[in-house]
């Protein structure tokens, strides 16, 4: 037969099980809410990833377009006749040589002018007129 004590133990076990089930149901609800929040966040991040991929594709297309334009420009430059480039090269060389000669003359003039001034200072014969009326060579330092 079943005793009163066994019934009380059974009642306590059932009560503990009901309490445990209620606690687990509360935890389950909380976890479901968190999961729903995480799913929303995942959807948000997936949308951002999609937007970034689209932006990246547009950036890549822009870069490829710019490179293509540069290739066309390079092809156009290389297709010009060599005669025009060799003529411009010789003109550039001539102007460089002329400029170099002019610069050498100016440096010589400047250095000889400073030597003259230092020799005049050493002799004590420096005149005030040379300071007031500089010659055109002294003014043209470039």
With beta carbons less than 8 A apart as the criterion, state whether 142 and 106 touch: yes
Q: Residue range 133-140: average pLDDT?
A: 56
CA distance 33 to 24: 14
3-class DSSP state of 57: helix
Residues 6+ apart with CB under 8 A from 113: 137, 138
User: Which pLDDT value is given to residue 101?
Assistant: 60
- The residue ranking higher by pLDDT, 79 or 100, is 79
Look at residue 107 in the predicted model and tell me its pLDDT. Answer: 59
Tell whether the model's pLDDT for residue 90 goes beyond 90: no
Q: Is the pLDDT of residue 35 over 60?
A: yes
DSSP 3-state helix, strand, coil percentages of the chain (rounded to 5)?
A: 90, 0, 10
Give the predicted TM-score (pTM) of the model.
0.41
Q: Residues of the chain with pLDDT > 90: what percent?
A: 51
Average pLDDT of span 31-53? 97
């Amino acid at each position: 037969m079943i005793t009163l004590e066994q019934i009380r133990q059974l009642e306590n076990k059932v009560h503990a099980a009901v309490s445990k089930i209620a606690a687990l149901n509360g935890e389950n609800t909380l976890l479901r809410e968190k999961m729903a929040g995480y799913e929303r966040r995942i959807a948000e991040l997936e949308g951002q990833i999609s937007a970034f991929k689209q932006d990246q594709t547009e950036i890549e297309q822009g870069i490829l377009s710019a490179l293509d334009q540069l290739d066309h420009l390079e092809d156009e430059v290389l297709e010009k006749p060599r005669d025009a480039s060799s003529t411009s090269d010789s003109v550039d060389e001539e102007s460089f040589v002329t400029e170099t000669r002019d610069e050498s003359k100016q440096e010589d003039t400047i250095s000889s002018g400073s030597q003259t001034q230092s020799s005049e200072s050493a002799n004590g014969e420096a005149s005030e007129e040379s300071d007031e009326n500089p010659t055109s060579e002294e003014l043209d330092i470039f």
